[in-house]
Structure 1
Amino acid sequence: MSKSQLPVGPVEACNPSPRVREPLSADAAGELAVVFKALSDPIRLRLLSSIASRSGQEACVCDLSEGIDLTQPTISHHLKVLRSAGLLTSERRASWVYYRVVPEALRQLSDALSLEAGALAEVNA
């Protein structure tokens, strides 16, 4: 008997597990995806980390190229992506641009990950 000719047994009813919290809405998932996409590049992670590790979570663009072997325009592109994702703000002061971490954006990201980790912990318990 071939696989296509195997007898089909009775179909069991699907018993879905009860929800313990609401899943992400389409809008929330879309917003988080933008942030995760921005953070998916190692250079952008390093730039964000470099800014976050400085006093006041702020750094001048002139300080950000230290240890990163990229041209200034490429670094500026990565900073623009982080700004567009809402992770950084920027401010021009004289001829330099200063970048600052947006704490609320990191907090929202952390909260979303904590919710998902909490749900996984409950399932695996």
Structure 2
Amino acid sequence: MHLRPTDLFAALANDTRLRCLMLLAAHEELCVCELTHATGTAQPHVSRHLAQLRELGLVSDRREGLWVYYRIHRALPDWARRVLEETAAGVSMQSPFADDAQALARMPNRPSAQRCA
């Protein structure tokens, strides 16, 4: 995979994309409904930004029934993975990232249960 540094940093410069990437960096995989719940953002808005991240090759997705799950792309170059990991470690205790993690932890009916919220 070829990822231009300017594409990675442009993706990180957007609040919604950064928040989604930080949540995905902390979890193996998350459903769109989990990302919308955690960030308090409307589903179409989150989905649009996830599509941009997918087009850049930062995330991959899979469909399971009605749900679409996202994860950090497995083929992401090591340098880019390290940027995401260091960023996640550095901001994990700051708002809104800590708030997003807490909201996700409190989410009822997560996809691992019967239905998404």
Report the TM range for the smaller structure's normalisation. 0.5 to 0.7
Instruction: Tell me which residue corresponds to 1:78.
Output: 49
* Secondary structure, aligned partner of 2:41: coil
Matched, 1:42 2:42: no
Larger radius of gyration: 1
TM-score (norm 1): 0.57
Deviation at 1:66, TM superposition (A): 2.2
Aligned residues: CA RMSD: 2.3
Residues 44 and 111 of structure 1: is their aligned pair in 2 closer, same or farther, counting only changes over 3 Å? closer
Higher RCO (CA-CA < 8 Å; seq separation 6+):
2
Checking the alignment, whether the CA contact within 8 Å between 1:51 and 1:99 is kept in structure 2 is yes
TM-score (norm 2): 0.60
1:66-106 Cα offsets, whole Å, 9 max, x none, are 23232110000111111111110001110000001124425
Checking the alignment, whether the CA contact within 8 Å between 1:35 and 1:86 is kept in structure 2 is no
1:4-53 Cα offsets, whole Å, 9 max, x none, are xxxxxxxxxxxxxxxxxxxxxxxx7x822122211111221110111121
Whole-angstrom distance in 2 between the partners of 1:77 and 1:71: 10
Structure 2 residue ranges without an equivalent (≥5): 84-117
Instruction: Tell me which residue corresponds to 2:70.
Output: 99
Matched, 1:31 2:4: yes
State how many pairs are aligned: 82
Structure 1 residue ranges without an equivalent (≥5): 1-27, 113-125
